[in-house]
Structure 1
């Protein structure tokens, strides 16, 4: 029996996504399926498209969704119920959604004071790419030994 494990990175997909027959740039559905997981950013404007994308029958990859731009807890829960593998929330949203365990992770900026660690992992955005600027954040992350670290 052949198994497929997701690679240790997420391919970012712009939604609405028309798939391999569309005129969009990027990877086809089959290519994304080989990777095993995708990263989506939900906003109030694309929420219906994101819901449709994650709830497709026979979805061949795991959707990870950044919901930091959504205000409604009901909208976030609808994505979890609809098939999102994991959602990334703002720290102030986390406590209300923590009952969902490892399917909810916090999203923070690299400049945030004291990076939290949660069962679901941590999404860190804004890490500087210059060696000197990123070293403090990278050292802090390494010392925390966060099991599931996502960098945006």
Structure 2
């Protein structure tokens, strides 16, 4: 899986992280990190320490919610958190690829091909270390909530998520 680190999508994540001084954090796992549960199992960490990068549409605009692996995005709260009006719905695979440049299963919170409004789940503050996808289903990077805010420019809000 080391070759996954050579993928263009993974290199975009590495470059975005490097812009804010975060280096040498992207790793390739032997097991898939396609889902939050897969990533938690592969990393041996709590499910909640996995950052799910979820893409939605509010009206015609693509947006992202970064949500703890053990929580669900509150799609009713998301438009207000991002200061947008309209109904929120899950984006399909084509919209995800167009908005982020990533395929579902490897969508990273950074390195997008277009600028997205981003809301970050405040419940991630339960963990000193969190892990996010890095542009490929086998690649992740370790970070903190503070670093995630810095690198994404996202808005942290406790209302982004709810218990399933």
User: Where on the TM-score scale, by shorter chain, does this alignment land: which range?
Assistant: under 0.3
Higher Cα Rg: structure 1 or 2?
1
Normalized per residue, which structure has more strand? 2
With a CA cutoff of 8 Å and minimum separation of 6, indicate the structure with the bigger relative contact order. Answer: 2
User: TM-score, structure 1 length as denominator?
Assistant: 0.26
